[in-house]
Amino acid sequence: MSESGVVFEAIAEATLFGFDATPSEVRIRPRSRGWRVGGAVGTFVGVVAVASPLVVFPPHAVWLIGGLGTGAFLANRRYIERFTLLSAIGACPKCGHGFSLKNTRLRAPHPLPCEGCHHESTLQLPDGLLQKHALD
């Protein structure tokens, strides 16, 4: 259940309104449905297993609902992780401060917070790149 796709690399762009985009090297790993579902189930079971001993203490319902809610929330985050952004390296379009992201769920659009100027640029992937590499 842990099979996942082949890592691919691309040149994306960091874009910020009003500034010239800068190139950003990205490495991305597509995730299969099996990886996402298996991980989601494992996450849910793990969280509920950790939370369930607390249910013997009052307020019982709060622990129960909290455990189930947290498990569902984290499981869902795993389930929707269709691509993992293994790394993204580039520079802020505004101030040129370098950024380097590692191992995070790729979002669309993916935010690139800058430690230099505290503006947030956006990672712009080439059109059709994800569709080309998407697993089921």
Would you tell me which residues interact with Zn ion (CB under 5 A)? 92, 94-95, 97, 114, 116-117
13 forms bridges with which residues in the sheet? 23, 124
How many Å from the N-terminal Cα to the C-terminal Cα in the chain?
14
Q: Name the minimum Å distance from CB 60 to Zn ion.
A: 49
Q: Name the minimum Å distance from CB 89 to Zn ion.
A: 15
- Comparison of 24 and 84: residue with beta carbon closer to Zn ion: 24
Q: Name the minimum Å distance from CB 108 to Zn ion.
A: 22
- Comparison of 12 and 92: residue with beta carbon closer to Zn ion: 92
Name the phi and psi angles at 36, rounded to 5.
-70, -45
Q: If 0-12 CB within 10 Å is exposed, 13-18 middle and 19+ buried, where does residue 133 land?
A: middle
